[in-house]
Amino acid sequence: MQSKGFTLIEILIAMAIFAMIGLGATALLSTVIDSDEISTEKFARLQQLQRCMMTLERDILQAVPRAVRIEGQENNTVLRGGKQVNESDAGGLAFVRSGWHNPKLALPRSTLQSVGYRLHEQKLERISSVYVDNVIGYEPKVRVLLDNVSDFTVEFYTSNQADDGESAWNDTYIGEVLPRGIRITITLNDMGVIQRVFALTELKQ
């Protein structure tokens, strides 16, 4: 009886085929893993950007015409904005906002909060204080909202005329009343330019 089996050439061909399939499967799996990591990073970045814009929107839309006393001295400026405000590397913003949650006024502070924004070492930072007026010896809290930021500009709409267009926007504002609008432009190294315009209601004037 004659035995049957595989020849050496057939075995080598089969091994070569399985090796090619294995290499293809490995390359495909590696691509899927890399794509998943990129998608996760992009999603995390979008979440960071969304949280940043929500914080900006919450603060700016709750801005109130309340001046901050500096070391006990009177001050009538309710909002400051422009280059190097808050020692920013680009544009900056400083004002007082309402709506700081204090359940049943249980905490030893008001519902007003002094806040500011600045660009520092390519990081967009939010600066806030527990007390509205400047307290000697108290350091404000600094929180990074967004990183990898190449530029941060703040512009202010001050005209009462609806058709003044771009001529009504100024890159510097120091006023005793709130501007009618604020335009924020954030330039990201990885996502380009993001711009938001916030209208401040006349009730706050």
Q: What is the pLDDT of residue 12?
A: 81
Q: What is the mean pLDDT of residues 60-76?
A: 84
Average pLDDT value for the chain: 85
- Specify whether domain 59-204 bears CATH 3.10.610.10: yes
Q: What is the pLDDT of residue 37?
A: 79
Q: How many H helices and E strands in the chain?
A: 1, 11
What DSSP line would sit under 1-28, residue for residue? -------HHHHHHHHHHHHHHHHHHHHH
Which carries the bigger pLDDT value, residue 61 or residue 166? 61
- List, for residues 79-97, the tens digit of each pLDDT value: 999 998 999 999 999 999 9
| Predicted TM-score of the model (pTM) | 0.77
